Structure 1
Amino acid sequence: MKNAAIAGAAFTIVPRYVIGGKGHLAPSDKLFVAGIGAGGKGTSDIANFAKSGKAEIAFLCDVDDRRAETSRKNFPKAKYYKDYREMLDKEGKNFDAVSVSTPDHQHAVQALAAMQMGKHVYVQKPLTHDIYEARMLTEAAAKYKVVTQMGNQGSSGDGVRQMREWYNAGTIGDVTEVYCWTNRPVWPQGIPWPTKSAPIPKELDWDLWLGTAPKKDYVDKLVPFNWRGWWDYGTGALGDMACHIIEPPFRTLGLGYPSSVECSVGSVYVDEFKRGYFPDSCPPSSHVIMNFPGPGGKPDVKFHWMDGGIQPERPEELGPNEMMGDGGNGVIMVGSKGKMMCSTYGINPQLLPTSRTKEVNVPQTIARVPGGSETGHYFQWVEACIAGYGKMEVSSPFDIAGPMTESILMGNLAIRSYDIQKKRPGGRDDQFDYPGRFIKLLWDGPNMKITNFDEANQFVRRDYRDGWKMQGL
């Protein structure tokens, strides 16, 4: 190794990437991991990789020293960086895989940079901020032949597999309608961008945190959590929770690209007669409807997403005092012969009426992941990386996670199109039309294009700030 000090402090065995290049199995069966985003969810991601007993946390990277503090204490031998680009450039030969747990707007550039170096990647949900980015990461996984996994750990749970077995056995017939809902956001949305800037905390590199996003002054309370409600950085309630909630029906029904999307969006009132118009901010609530062509000759599926506390009508088969989903979140699939329901992550799958859950027995045809959504999702990725590309199955590889993320982000495209504002011809200065409202957007999935309202296509792919553009995105 180039850096003998690092070798002595952090490594006991040379990583397989150094020994024999991509795909070579090291004698140690150890995976050397670099974590981009060492705080928040990154803290638990990194810790869970280490719990496998087969992963060495070799490097840590975070733009905020405060957020990284716990991981740095847990892994004192891991060398620490603030700029992931510097870490990749200087240490690329000293690790095998990269974990990305950063705000949504940075996922794609960080993951792709690692993949282009031949590194396996684990990327937190949602996989990307934009539809185009999701497509590019999906294609990159195949091109660079690396093991990939998205951080929707429920995809490794028993619940999703149980629902697939019920459906495959014909228990509820053909599904024609799906309802998914969440009580999020639990952060501010539907508000104007603050007019007052705030001092940048000394531990935070604000320019690195902004990354691909437009240059703006730092504002109070944006970091570490409230960025989720701003389109420049986050993907709102849908981006935050849908990967955990939509996974069961998306996987169970084998859905592909939606053919159309429409929505209604909640708003706030700034005075007695005027609704707030805050296009920088995600709305406080929304109801998105996507139509999916039926896979394999099955009927088409109408897919509902609801957030901000909006919930579907209770099924008649559910008792008046029985919990729908887990209360704040859930899934209901409506079939020609029955219905089934689950909570977040696919937990607590039930047939409706719930008495059927114990009465109906179908053969177990899908292997369970040891450790499930708790630790199995992480251990599975570590072991698959050690085995090498194509040698082991993982629950949420990008060829599955990518298309699902695209569908989720289609909902956000509709939500953002809803607020496209145009001054009304001949009207007063405060009179506007909203041409994206009250229409159904038609989607050409293979070509990533809305075919009947071109202005919506600006949300398929965003422009990166100068200095952050990269080949492949």
Structure 2
Amino acid sequence: MMHPSRRTFIKTASTLFGSALAPNLLLGEESALGQLNVAAIGCGGKGKSDISEIAPGNRIAFLCDVDKNMAKWAIEKYPDARFFSDYREMFAEVGDQIDVVTVSTPDHMHFPIACEAIRLGKPVMVQKPMCNSLWETRALSNYAEEKGVLTVMGNQGATMQGTRLLREWIEAGLIGEVKEVYYWTNRPIWPQGTGLSFPSDPVPATLDWDVWQGTCATDRPYSPEIHPFKWRGFWDYGCGALGDIGCHSMNSAFWALDLKGDFVVEASKVSPFDENMAPKRATIIYDFPAKGSRGPVKVVWQDGVGDPNTDKEFVRPPGIPDDLELNKGFGQVFVGTEGTIFFNDAYCSTSPILFPETLMKKARTIPRVYPRVKGGPTQELCRAIRGEGPKPVSNFEDHAGPLTEMVLAGNLAVRSGKRIDWDMEKMEARGMPEVQEMLKRKYRAGWEPELT
């Protein structure tokens, strides 16, 4: 009788039985599984923290980056890992040896890389945002669900204790009915807006610029002002401040208040932008209708904020003391009918502060309902693969996909200059067919999506 290899078993359990059943099937294989073979795609920037997070208890077996210089630290730290500069070659040559994939590349390449991992039945972590277009986000969510592959998005806040505490407090009625939520960020901290130039340079010998461009149909020459960091402001490669931080910050309200579904979104105070670059600043307001026992909720997002304590354009959230010093980088405020919850960060990684402070006594009596997650999203994914825990909270189909769509619809309001009445089920702006063409990117020849 032939016994499947460890990697074949992981693929079969994940693909055929789906993420809900795979953990139960794998429970008896825990000792056999042991370390998972990790394929890390994207080693610089966020890739460095993703690799460092997933490494404990696992084996960094394969490294992939279009820029070998960006991967130098990882190559030196993990000398036994085989290096590739093209993810397609990596999957073709060693796909059967991979147990889990991390994708820490510029946003425009999340979709094709994650699709190939899922096609091969490989559990995958994709950095936020899941994708930088609405069509890709929905297609990737559906593809992961169809193939039954374990997934997670790299929005660390979804794993933090503060996020669970927030939901427990809100569901217990600690601050009454939540009416408004406020978020702010100092992003962008890279060039955005109009009047920018990106002078071309010879392509470094360490960089495969063609693969870096990937799906993007706009043929841009290499510029050090684009790679490795300043790509975020481009609509083609990133999705501006909202795409960078929105999936971190707004995850808290999305999960605690169950905001998945229809909404109306409108942008105001938008600074100049063009067909290439996102604006330096915008205020975006989402209105969510009542759902179940929850009443309607307004979510206010402000980006491009220098210092919220002195910025004259900044709308200070109600429900907090006038002399409260706000974080210059990020913050979030939940305003209820009986009190306010304040986080002085983007991820719910700090201890929440209650106003009035007398609510703290009641807060201590609220029992834990939601399990705490250790090690961040990559370790949460690895535990699910081994059968040591459930599928990650921020999995594509249930959470990360709808959250990313909500965030990207804000950019749709910015770019169209219109009030968007978003139909989540149909994935369309009601009564606005002219907006539909903005949902899907144009693909470079040879990089068209294939979901088979």
Greater Cα offset, 137-146 or 232-241: 137-146
Please report how far the alpha carbon of residue 301 of structure 1 lies from its aligned counterpart in structure 2 after TM superposition.
1.4
Aligned counterpart, 2:394: 396
- Aligned residue runs from structure 1 range 237-256, under 5 A: 237-256=241-260
TM-score (norm 1): 0.85
**Structure whose CA Rg is larger:** 1
- The CA deviation at 1:19 is 5.6
Which structure 2 residues correspond to residues 51-200 of structure 1 after superposition, within 5 A? 51=56, 53=57, 55-192=58-195, 194=197, 196-200=199-203
Q: Deviations over 1:425-458 (max 9, x none)?
A: xxxxxxxxxxxxxx42222211111123322222
Q: Is residue 379 from structure 1 mapped to residue 379 from structure 2 by the alignment?
A: yes
Matched, 1:41 2:46: yes
Instruction: Give me the whole-angstrom Cα distance separating, in 1, the residues matched to 2:67 and 2:346.
Output: 30
- Supply the AA of the counterpart residue of 1:377: P
Aligned residues of 1:141 and 1:147 also touching (Cα < 8 A): yes
Q: Name the amino acid aligned to 1:84.
A: Y
Distance 1:308 1:105 in 2: 22
Which residue does the alignment assign to 2:12? Answer: 22
Aligned equivalent of 1:428: none
Which amino acid letter does the alignment assign opposite residue 77 of structure 1? D
Between 1:236-245 and 1:292-301, the stretch displaced more is 292-301
1:462 aligns with 2:441: yes
1:359 to partner: Cα distance: 5.3
* Cα distance in 2 between the residues matched to 1:386 and 1:380: 10
* Matched residues, number: 424
Contact map agreement 2:37 2:97 (CA 8 A) in 1: yes
**Alpha carbons 1:384, 1:392 under 8 Å: kept:** yes
Cα distance, 1:266 vs. partner?
3.2
Which residue does the alignment assign to 1:423? Answer: none
- Pairwise CA distance, 1:115: 0.5
Deviation at 1:360, TM superposition (A): 3.1
Q: Residues 321 and 137 from structure 1, CA distance in 2 versus in 1: closer, same or farther, beyond 3 angstroms?
A: same
State the match for 2:332 in structure 1.
331
> How far off is 1:221 after superposition?
1.6
Displacement of 1:349 after TM fit? Answer: 1.4
CA separation of 1:149 and 1:316: change in aligned 2, threshold 3 A? closer
Find the aligned partners of 1:217 and 1:316 in 2 and give their Cα distance: 47
Percent same amino acid among aligned pairs? Answer: 39
Name the CA shift for 1:351/1:187 in 2 (closer, same or farther; >3 Å): same
Superposition RMSD in Å: 2.1
Distance 1:457 1:362 in 2: 49
The 5-angstrom pairing of residues 213-224 of structure 1 reads 213-214=216-217, 215-224=219-228
Letter in 2 for 1:32: N
Contact 1:158 1:369 in 2 (8 A): yes
1:442 pairs with 421, 438, 442, which one? 421
Per the normalisation by structure 2, the TM-score is 0.88
- Residue 81 of structure 1: CA displacement? 0.6
Distance in 1 (alpha carbons) for counterparts of 2:41 and 2:301: 31
CA distance, structure 2, for counterparts of residue 184 and residue 242 of structure 1: 10
**Structure 1 residue 193, shift from structure 2 partner:** 5.2
Name the counterpart of 2:292: 296
2:413 partner letter = A
1:257 aligned to 2:261?
yes
Q: Which moved more, 1:171-180 or 1:182-191?
A: 171-180
1:358, 1:236 → 2: CA distance?
A: 41
Q: Which moved more, 1:136-145 or 1:362-371?
A: 362-371
SS at structure 1 position matched to 2:71: helix
Aligned-partner residue type, residue 337 of structure 2: S
CA drift at 1:166: 0.8
Secondary structure of residue in 2 paired with 1:65: coil
* Cα contact 2:201–2:222 (8 A) shared by 1: yes
Separation of aligned partners in 2, 1:383 and 1:86? 28
Unmatched 5+ stretches in structure 2? 14-25, 309-313
Counterpart of 2:437 in 1: which secondary structure?
helix
2: CA distance, partners of 1:354 / 1:227? 43
The one-letter amino acid of 1:417's match is S
Per-residue deviation, 1:315: 4.7
Post-superposition offset of 1:466: 0.8
Unaligned stretches of 5+ residues in structure 1? 1-13, 269-276, 419-438
